[in-house]
Structures are given as C-alpha cells and as structure tokens.
Structure 1
Amino acid sequence: MSSLLIFLCGIRVAQGADYWPYFKLYMGINKYVKWDKVFNADIEVTYVIISKILGYFKMPFFALLFIFGLISVSLKTYTYYKYSPYPMLSLMYFFMPSYFFSDSGHIRQAVSIAFCLYSYQYIEQRKLLKFLICVFIGYYFHKTSLIFIPAYWITRLNLSTFSCFLIIIFAIIISPFKPYLIFENLFSNISSDLISEATGGFYSYRSLEGTGWGLNDIVKLIFITILLVNDKYICNTTTNPNYKMIRNLVVTYYFLFYSLRENSIFSIRLPTVYGDFWTILIAMIIKYSKNSYRIMIYYFLVVYIYLMSWRFWTNSVALGFDKMSTIFSENVDIKYFIPYEFINEN
C-alpha cells in the first residue's frame, strides 16, 4: 500500500495544495539560482538542491514529487510498523486526510514531519545526538521541525490523566491572550542564523486571525474524550512504555493547538508534527483499552474515516483530486514539466 501511495505522489498532475507554486519554484530555481546561492534562495535548501540536481539531468517535475513522496511515506510507514499495534489501521488513518493535505500537498512539511516521526526511535533509545540530527535534517525541508526538539524531554514527563486534562483546559483558557506573542521579544534578541531564519514565518503570520470554533473542534473533543476516558486504565495495565510517551506528544499537540487558536496558521501548521502521532496512539488505545470500549472505538474510527472521506470530497474538487489527472492522462504534455531555461553558472 505504501508503494502505491508513493507512486501516486509522483504521477499526480495539478492535484494538491501548492502544486503549481512548487512547480514554478522548480522551474525558477533552475532558471535563476546559482549553486553558490542555494542557501540564500528564500526557501529550504533541500528543495533547491534537489530541484537543481533533477533540472541538470532534464528530469520532469514529477521526479521531484516522487522523491519527496518516497522519503515522506516510507519514513512514516516505517514508524507505524515499528510502534503501532495495528499498523494498517494507522496507515488508513494517515491516508485520510493527512496523505492528501501533506504528502500530496504541503510536501516540504510532510517530509519534515516524517523525519520527526522517524526520530522517535531515538527518543525511545535516549540517543539525543541522533534525535537532533533527524530533527535538523527535517529543518532543512521545513523550518517547523524545530518545534519538535522539546519532544525529547516531553516524552519523559510522568503525567497523570488529570494532568493531561488540566493542560488542555489551561491551553483553552490562555488562548485569547495570544501567548505566541511572547516569542516576539525572544526572537528579537537571537542572533543565530539558524533560528533567525525560522522567525521569518513568525513575523509573516503573527497578525492572522483565528478560524473560530466549528465542526473540527467537535471532532477534536471526541478524540480528547476517547483519550482521557481510556488513559488511566491503559497506564495501569499496559506494559508498553511507548504508550505514555506517545500520549504525552499528542497532549502537547492539543496544548499547542488550543493555545495558538487565535492565529489560524500557527494553530494548524506548528502543532502538526505532534498531531501526527495520533496515527499510532489511536491504534494503541484500541489495542489496550477495556474490552467494552475496544469495539466501540474501532467502529467510531472507521465511521470517522468514512465521514472524513465524504467531507473531503468538497475540498477535493478545489484541490484537483476529483479528476485524478496523472502523467498518463491524454492531455498531459510531459515536456511542459521539464526545465528548459537554466542560469549561467559561469
């Protein structure tokens, strides 16, 4: 199944958020960016390097999509099979809708998140250097991976079920005060090139308004309820130490999401790397919860995925997925996607 998802990442045409902006970047990088300027191209260096290498060999844009899909989906799949008690269930949860929005949409952040997921094994093994290497590789795909650095210590917190509840409530309470603005003073006093690059997005999005409360929050509250209702029993009965560690990461997701609610970009994009651990945690909850809850949660998740698929259809039209246009479609000219203008490196 993972091979099919990777294949679809590479052959899609005009499908997914940012498809055409990524395509224009691919063409523009080969046309305007010299090799000695790859670190100054105002976009993550990995995208520039991969674009220039593929452009040098006159490879079409689909090759870049395939490479990003290969890295992202394979690393995520590896993590699911290593830590999820039901890896196929986790893969199904990932497929709808993360695969369409991230791996077939925001491909740079998708790869960045994949490296953070992959780095979890080094959190488990307490290998800080290898963990940081993974996170910083992810940083050069998308800067939001830096927010995952505290995960190394968050996983070791001995949080009770009630503490998790209080953390989420606290996040909701402080949300109107826009706590993310405290980083403004912090960033202004940082001279590190690495960190200062990451602040560019902060200043670009800091004034955006939140999206308000809606159906998405009802779904989140249901998942929070499922987590909290089963958490104490699982903590007392399971011998899997990864449950509590991954539970802490998911609680961190909810803390970041609700505390950043006043900003639509921060609340969605920044916590995503923590939220992607739900794919593993939901399988753990089904596996380790009481028998009386297990079947109910399983069927709820199946219905949720079905309803998500149904709801996604409205957005799929705008994102191009309803047409399922690929490189094999009759009206697709492969030559259009191959760079034909290159900057003079001399």
Structure 2
Amino acid sequence: MIHPLYYTLMVIMTILSYNEFIFRKKNKVGIALLTLILIILAGIRVGQGADYWPYLRLYHAINKYVAWNNIFGPDAGVEPTYVFFSKFLGSLSLPFTLLLLLFASMSLTLKANSFFKYSPLPILSLLYYFMPSYFIADSGQIRQGLAISICLFSFKYIEQKNLLKYLLCMLICYWTHKTSIAFFPAYWIANAKISTTKAFIIITISLILWPLKPYLIIGETLNSISSDGFATGSFNSYGGIEEAELGLSEIVKILFLIVVFVNDKYIIKTNVDENYMKVRNLMIFYFFIYYSFHGNAIFSIRLPGAYGAFDSILISMIVCYSRYKNFYYLYFTIYIYLLSYRFWNNAQSVGFDKIRTIFNDPRFNIYYFTPQEFYKDINDVHPLK
C-alpha cells in the first residue's frame, strides 16, 4: 500500500474539500499549504517514481556532454527545457534534488492556480489529481507533468480568446515535452459549440475507429513523440497502471462518460459557469484520442494527457452544478479511495510504499547526485542502485 503519510494527506484533502463543498467557499490557504507539501515530497524523494534514475543519468549526461549552444540541437537527446534547467543548476554544482524541486514547484504551482481559478471546488480537484496522477507525473514523468501544467495554465488564454499568448504557451509546452503538440488544437476545440448530441457522436466515432487502428496511418516514426534519450525506456514500467484491454480502467472511463452525459444538458441549460462547456469539450476530445488510438499505448495514454488533466476541474463542476450534488460528491470521493486501493501494487513497485528522501535514504550521496566532469562512465552516478 502507499505510505500512511500519503493517506493522511488524502484524508486532510477530503476534510477540506468537504468544507468547501458545504460552505461553497474556496480555501486559498488550504490549497496553498497542501501544494507546498506536495512540492517538498516530490522534490526531496530518492529513488521514487519509475523515471527517477533515468532522469538522474540525464542530469549528469547533459552537464557532461551537452554544450550550452546545443540546447536546442538534436544531440541533446531530450527537450530544451530539461536541458536548460539541468545545465543551469549543474553549472552551479547543485545536486539533482534541486532540479526535482524546481520542476515540482513550477508544475504543482501552475496546477494549483488553475484549480483555484477554474474549479468550484479546488481542493477536491487537487485530491482527484493527487490519486494517482501526482505519483505518475510530478513524482515520475516530470517533463510531461510540467508540460501538462503549462497546458492547464494556457486555458486562461483559451478563455480570453487570446490566440497569440496561447500559441506562446504551446511553444513552451513543446520545448518541455513533445506530446504537448497534441494539445495544439485545444484552443479551437474548447471554444467550439458542441452540443450533448454532437459530443456523444464524437465518442461513438472514436469507438468505431478503435479496431481500425488509425495511428498506423500516422506512421511508426511518430513513436518518437514520446521523447528520445535515456528516459524513454523507463516509460514501459508504468504499463501496468493503464490497461490496453477492456478491463477495470475502461469500466471506470465508461462510468465517467455516463456521468458527464447524464448531467450535460442540465448544466449547459442552467449556464452556471460559462467555462463548463470549454472544459467538457477538452475532456470529450481526451476520450476521442484515447479510444481512437487505443491500440497503441504511447498514443492513447501519453498523447491525450494534457486534455485528461482537465478531469479534475470537470468533476468539481459536475459535483457543484448537477441536480444531485450530494450524491456526486460522495460518488467521486469514494471513487478516489477505491482508486488508491487499486494503486497499491503500482505504488510499491515505484517506491511510494515508503517515504524515501535525501534525509533518510542511504542511497543519497551529494557527491554522486551532483554533476562531476571527471566521471568516466555515466553509470557511475548511482553505484548503489
């Protein structure tokens, strides 16, 4: 199971989210403190998350082999954002922990701000994100985690219909993780007038495309969109978290879609929140990509990731704007705890059954975690692994 500290955080989030739900007042201090705790835990961890050691190797390799003038070059082996921050911190002889803290700070702050601004129940959104996306993204695939956060932030410019600033966000996203290119049409998707019926037709089309494997038309060369370099292979270690066949995860997604469609017309008709349809459109497109490309794990899971991040906001909107508010609050809260039970085995395999930090893990040695030019072999950076 996951460490009791993580469960304690879940319970605290649940209590605070219920308080928001009852009194309909956003808790700014609460979400700020919870975000700070999540940042620290993600930053000071050691050996937790499937991508931890590959990212450490990248940190050393970038500082040893990549010149400043080659940050945007193909030889860097990874997106420019990670290279830039690695070079910057490495030039100051700072340990890998500072890089994790930096990425976690940027990523989780942007997510929390987006939740607070657009979710009627921001702490419920944070709780929904926490289990288990926090462990997969901001404590695992940190490049994509940050890119998704920037996509969430760009919703501000989607709402304002400021195309230029939105495109600037997309450029930064692409430099952070290449899968962000899938979010490029979000500006037009979110602002489109898609009725409940049209949304249902879109999902139906994606299910028809599923067995036709449309991703084969795109070509195998686009597999590189999952990113090149040392961290690429480690993605496979998350394979057990998502199921390719019709299993429990598919049933959960179907139930989520049922909840959306059951409440969609009512929420649109009441027009409580003009951003509801925009967020709903993005989630519909998430399911469209997920099911259309379901035969390829890279395409179906990683490509729609930025769209899927809006589920945390959408579930809070459904809870607050539906006819049966109490029922849906209870439904989604129970679902989160059931999901934590399912995550136990995966949590153990990637190290979240314990709290392993720079303060209590014997594998942490500041010498080995700090870039050194005289390393003869990149595998020397963590001989205790």
What TM-score results when the alignment is normalised by the length of structure 1? 0.90
Deviations 1:1-60 (A, max 9, x none): 001111111100000121000000001111111222222212101111111111111101
Residue aligning to 1:337? 369
Is the counterpart of residue 26 in structure 1 residue 67 in structure 2? Answer: no
Match of 1:103?
Answer: 138
For the pair 1:47 / 2:82, whether they are aligned, the reply is: yes
Give the root-mean-square deviation of aligned CA atoms: 2.1
Tell me, in whole angstroms, the C-alpha distance in 2 between the residues paired with 1:269 and 1:47: 18
Tell me what 1:250 maps to.
283
How far did residue 199 of structure 1 move? 6.8
1:270 pairs with one of 291, 298, 303: 303
- Per the TM alignment, residue 145 of structure 1 is displaced from its structure 2 partner at its CA by 1.0
**Using the alignment, how far apart are the partners of 2:176 and 2:126 within structure 1?**
23
SS at match of 1:335: coil
Q: Distance in 2 between matches of 1:336 and 1:121?
A: 41
Match of 1:66 among 101, 106, 121: 101
Query: Any stretches of 5+ residues in structure 1 without a counterpart?
Result: 188-197
State the AA in 1 paired with 2:354.
K
SS of residue paired to 1:334:
coil
Work out the CA distance in 2 between the residues paired with 1:203 and 1:111.
14
Using the TM superposition, give the Cα deviation of residue 238 of structure 1 relative to its aligned residue in structure 2, in angstroms. Answer: 2.3
Residue 191 of structure 1 is matched in structure 2 by none
User: How far off is 1:157 after superposition?
Assistant: 1.7
Instruction: Verify the 8 A CA contact 1:30 1:342 in the aligned structure 2.
Output: no
For the residue of structure 1 that corresponds to 2:282, the secondary structure is helix
Q: 1:201 aligns with which of 225, 232, 237?
A: 225
Name 1:194's counterpart in structure 2.
Answer: none
Q: How does 1:1-346 map to 2 (within 5 A)?
A: 1-40=34-73, 41-184=76-219, 200-201=224-225, 211-290=244-323, 293-329=324-360, 331=362, 332-341=364-373
Q: Comparing 238-247 with 76-85, which one deviates more in the overlay? A: 238-247
> What letter is aligned with 2:366?
I
**Distance in 2 (alpha carbons) for counterparts of 1:39 and 1:330:** 35
The residue type equivalent to 2:178 in the other structure is: K
Whether the 8 Å contact between 1:11 and 1:326 is mirrored in structure 2 is yes
CA distance in 1, matches of 2:361, 2:209: 54
Task: Give the Cα–Cα distance (whole angstroms) in 2 for the partners of residues 168 and 326 of structure 1.
Answer: 43
Cα contact 1:32–1:342 (8 A) shared by 2: no
Out of 31-40 and 128-137, give the one that drifted further.
31-40
- Kindly indicate whether the alpha-carbon contact (under 8 Å) linking 2:82 and 2:176 is maintained by their aligned counterparts in 1: yes
Pairs aligned (count): 328
- Number of the residue aligned with 2:25: none
- State the one-letter code of the partner of 1:200: S
Q: Deviations over 1:270-315 (max 9, x none)?
A: 011001101001000011000xx22111111111110111111111
Whichever residue aligns with residue 201 of structure 1, its letter is I
Local SS of the residue matching 2:219 = helix
- Rounded to whole Å, the distance in 2 between the matches of 1:201 and 1:153 is 22
Residue 183 (structure 1) shift: 2.6
For residues 158 and 38 of structure 1, the distance between their equivalents in structure 2, rounded to whole angstroms, comes to 41
Q: Is the 8 A contact 2:226 2:302 kept in 1?
A: no
Deviations 1:224-258 (A, max 9, x none): 01100000110101231100011000000000100
Partner Cα distance (1:203, 1:329) in 2 = 32
| Cα 1:330/1:240, change in 2 over 3 Å | closer
CA contact (8 A) 1:122 1:131 kept: yes
SS in 2 for 1:119: helix
Q: Distance in 2 between matches of 1:123 and 1:76?
A: 16
Say whether the 8 Å CA contact 2:42–2:104 is kept in structure 1.
Answer: yes
The C-alpha deviation readout for 1:186-219, integer Å capped at 9, x for no partner, is x8xxxxxxxxxx77337999xx998221100000
Amino acid in structure 1 at the alignment position of 2:225: G
Distance 1:341 1:134 in 2: 34
The 2-side partners of 1:156 and 1:56 are apart by 44
Amino acid at match of 1:333: N
Counterparts in 2 of 1:87 and 1:202: CA distance versus 1, 3 Å: closer
